[in-house]
Structure 1
């Protein structure tokens, strides 16, 4: 195991892979994959109907997925009744979709909360600023390509 205290891509990657494994465990037994989960969860988090085109663009930018993959996930959620289309090109979670999102968050939340509680709040704030800065810089580079 790497005992270096310097933040580096390996440490970030390991943390991301562990987060993904926890999510995979929480999604077991649902019909959702990671893309569908993120599309559903972000719609629930919005707290109001979202404009479909802008929403797809935002999720694609946030995740670095291509728009077609986000559209596919969105369509799957609409077809499964976890999201619903409302007038004017808006989509919103259904009661079933919101309930499923809450179940998945509760399942993964127990593990994540325990892990994050092991770190001092001020250290979490520093980590958030550092990772946000690194992510923004990489996004700038990707936008140039």
Structure 2
């Protein structure tokens, strides 16, 4: 069911975000993972090589606008689960971490395909441009508030 179109604003964007996030959280729960763990694991898996612990924490903190201590706790939990490994300060995904990331990606990819089915490519391109601009502006506002 499609409701009457509403202009994009914080509420409509937030509702879309939380609807998608709820789907992802459901998938993550089945894999005994949290959202923050999945984002942290993603950063490690898609990196060109091992990441310095500080760099990994910094990148995930910036991605999620999260507390660095909480991100470090996610890294520690992924290390404890054997999904990441440490060689001194360098962090890498393990085979189990890559497998988990792939499994979550496959499952959410199928769901996403159903969610986005039938939406014209030009609409998705426009939405992508608008959301990128909103993100850029919100990041600038946050930087101004926290400096």
Q: TM-score of the superposition, structure 1-length normalised?
A: 0.91
Q: Tell me, in whole angstroms, the C-alpha distance in 2 between the residues paired with 1:55 and 1:98.
A: 16
Residues 82 and 96 in structure 2, CA contact (< 8 A), matched pair in contact too: yes
Correspondence for 2:132 = 132
Bigger shift: residues 129-138 or 3-12 = 3-12
RMSD (Å), alpha carbons = 1.6
Offset at 1:116?
Answer: 2.0
Instruction: Determine the structure 1 residue equivalent to 2:28.
Output: 27
Please tell me whether the aligned partners of residues 6 and 12 of structure 2 are also in contact (alpha carbons under 8 angstroms): no
Find the counterpart in structure 2 of residue 110 from structure 1: 110
Mapped partners of 1:124, 1:110: distance in 2: 17
Q: Is the 8 A contact 2:37 2:78 kept in 1?
A: yes
Shift of 1:2: 5.9
What corresponds to 1:16 in structure 2? 17
Which deviates the most, 25-34 or 8-17?
Answer: 25-34
State the alpha-carbon separation in 1 of the partners of residues 55 and 35 from structure 2.
Answer: 20
Alpha-carbon separation, structure 1, partners of 2:119 and 2:46 = 25
Q: Which residue of 1 aligns with 2:60?
A: 59
Alignment correspondent of 1:45:
46
TM-score, with length taken from structure 2 = 0.90
Q: What is the aligned partner in structure 2 of residue 141 from structure 1? A: 141
Aligned-pair CA distance for 1:5: 3.7
Measured after TM superposition, the shift of residue 48 of structure 1 is 2.3
Aligned residue for 2:96?
Answer: 96
For the Cα contact (< 8 Å) 2:43–2:56, is it kept in 1?
Answer: no
Q: Is the deviation greater in 4-13 or in 77-86?
A: 4-13
For structure 2, the 5+ residue unaligned runs are none
- Equivalent residue pairs, number: 144
Q: Which has the higher contact order (CA 8 A, sep 6+)?
A: 1
